[in-house]
Amino acid sequence: MKKILLLVLTAMLFNCNSIAQKKETEEKETFPITKTEAEWKEQLTEKQYYVLRKAGTERPFSSPLNKNYAKGVYHCAACDTPLFKSEHKFDSGTGWPSFDREIEGNVAFSTDYKIGYARTEEHCATCGGHLGHVFNDGPRETTGKRHCINGVALKFVPEETEEATEKND
């Protein structure tokens, strides 16, 4: 009797887990900018497509934006949405550009189980492009968050360019 009960409980546990994971993969979030895979491939470089559209990860320390400390705003490389301000960037030592906060409303979040445990994945809220992940090991004196972002998913717009754009609007 104990073996049957154990077997039933084990079956229920695995069944519940697979249903939850299946439901999550079935739910596709929609974004204001949508394009076909062919259109994204035409617009983006091979590395950008791999990271932004296929949720890939660039090699650590490979992005020139990792050590960029100029004033400005980091935009989505796919749709030009402003995502992070340079004043919120810090050197995490991880090899990827890191920020302690996003521009509110411009970054969407989801749960990613790709490596066997739950992580908070970040996407551009306008086009859905994969940016990276957010962790709770950032600077304690600010938000405590570390937005670990693939540099290839970003386009840096220097402060002078941002100011000129705002004046023209």
Nearest Cα residue to 145 out of 105, 90, 108:
90
Domain that residue 102 falls in = 34-168
CATH code of 131's domain: 2.170.150.20
- 79 a catalytic residue: no
Task: Provide CB contacts within 8 A for 124, sequence distance 6+.
Answer: 31, 52, 76, 78, 79, 81, 83, 106, 107, 108, 131, 153
5 occurs within a structural domain: no
Q: Looking at residues 136-159, what average pLDDT do you find?
A: 97
Pick from 3-7, 71-75, 82-86, 150-154: least confident: 3-7
In percent, the amount of the chain with pLDDT more than 90 equals: 71
Contact 92, 146 (CB under 8 A): yes
121 occurs within a structural domain: yes
Each residue's pLDDT tens digit, 112-147: 888 888 999 999 999 999 999 999 999 999 999 999
19 occurs within a structural domain: no
Nearest Cα residue to 126 out of 165, 65, 75:
75
- Number of domains, the chain: 1
20 occurs within a structural domain: no
> pTM for this one?
0.79
Q: Report the Cα–Cα distance between both ends of the chain, in Å, rounded.
A: 74
51 occurs within a structural domain: yes
Q: What is the structure's pLDDT at 1?
A: 62
Phi/psi at 5 (nearest 5 deg)? -60, -45
Q: Write the DSSP symbol of residue 67.
A: G
Task: Provide CB contacts within 8 A for 146, sequence distance 6+.
Answer: 92, 94, 98, 99, 100, 134, 135, 136, 137, 138
75 occurs within a structural domain: yes
14 occurs within a structural domain: no
* Residue 19 CB burial class (10 angstroms; 0-12, 13-18, ≥19): exposed
1 occurs within a structural domain: no
Nearest Cα residue to 124 out of 94, 155, 90, 96:
155
Tokens of 167: 């004046």
Torsion of CA 98, 96, 47, 83, to 10 degrees: 0
